[in-house]
Amino acid sequence: MSLGSRLRAAARFARCTALTALALAGCSRVEEAQHSAPLRPIRIVPASATAVDYAVALAGLERIVGVPQQAVEYSVLHEGRPEPGPIVRFEAYLAEPILALRPDWVLIDPWQAPETTARLREVGVRVSTLPSVRSVEESIHALEWLGGELDEVERAAKLISGLRARVEKLRAASRTRPRRRAIAYSNFGGAGSTAGTGTTVDSLFEVVGLDNAMAVRGLDGHGGITFEDLLALDPDLIVVSEPLRMGEGASGDRGGASERLLRSEASLSGLRALREDQLVALPAWLFATGSHELVSAAEELARRIDALDARTRAASKETR
């Protein structure tokens, strides 16, 4: 064989070797991606009320094996809604009761006990932490992420499309109402609390066209509010939580404490919102939601504001 023939043969061999290496590398990457891709969870434990909202929306009740007791009050599983299937309720985010459910995926909030999370992961349970949600838009981003985690990308996309359409409808309707200065108020017998910028309440108010008086005042996050503060702000509208239906051991507004205090405290009788009966009590699960159910909370708040306006107009006609 001539020198030229040998060189051409060597070049062909080199090209074939390179192509084979590339093909093998490609196969290796595919196998690696398949190996690292999360398995579709079928025994899900959402360990907070917020996690329950997301899991029910994307996976359905049939893949959920346990929920925290507080979810019965503070999630889409609130009392009055049928709860099909044998779903176990547990009292707290502890490893033992959760491991007894044999979960293949646990979804938690960022604030939940790290020692429990460490124990679950130690024995091989997959645990995912929800991102912090402070707005409707952040709740939608959480849905996008969860769609991948649950192998429900198409379902998540369809849900998100519907949520965006509902938000747009709410914003359009808000432009037909007079602007109101509003606050969210909670008082369970101790001190009053409220919400400013960077909170789900602030996002809720923005969607329905309310000006958050505490945000305007400069409050960032949640904080306390005194009777003197309330009188100085004199908001047009006050939003509170409806009473809880859970037993005395539950934390939250039992017996409608916030509304009862506002209406019975003599020093607050001069508040415009009370004089004009501009107080809205939202269901507890919507008042406290940290999930995409913020959109449902906004729809319910808008309905109740419109009902107040209709009642005011009717009363005005009667007095003419």
Question: Using CA of residue 30, residue 33, residue 35, residue 37, what is the dihedral sign?
Answer: negative
pLDDT, residue 220, reads 96
Q: Are 276 and 284 in contact (CB under 8 A)?
A: no
pLDDT band at 96 (very low <50, low <70, confident <90, very high): very high
**Domain 44-130 -> CATH class:** alpha beta
- The rounded distance, in Å, linking the Cα atoms of 126 and 139 is 22
**Is pTM, for the whole model, over 0.85?**
no
Cβ count near 149 (within 10 Å): 19
- pLDDT one-digit tens code per residue, 293-304: 999 999 999 999
C-alpha dist (Å) from residue 286 to 4, 263, 267, 283, 298: 81, 22, 29, 5, 9
CA 147, chain centre distance (Å): 15
- pLDDT one-digit tens code per residue, 258-298: 999 999 999 999 999 999 999 999 999 999 999 999 999 99
Name the 3-class secondary structure at 48: coil
Torsion angle of the four alpha carbons 160, 161, 167, 173, in this order, in degrees rounded to the nearest 10: -160
Angle at 123 between CA 119 and CA 125, to 5 degrees: 90
pLDDT band at 205 (very low <50, low <70, confident <90, very high): very high
Residue range(s) in the chain whose domain bears CATH number 3.40.50.1980:
44-130, 178-318
Residue 191 pLDDT more than 50?
yes
C-alpha dist (Å) from residue 119 to 66, 127, 212: 18, 10, 42
Reply yes or no on domain 178-318 having CATH 3.40.50.1980.
yes
pLDDT band at 78 (very low <50, low <70, confident <90, very high): confident
Name the 3-class secondary structure at 271: coil
| 84-102: average pLDDT | 89
Query: Tokens standing for 299?
Result: 């729809």
pLDDT band at 189 (very low <50, low <70, confident <90, very high): confident
Q: Are 41 and 63 in contact (CB under 8 A)?
A: yes
Q: Which of 13-22, 200-209, 212-221 has the lowest mean pLDDT?
A: 13-22
Residue 1 pLDDT more than 70?
no
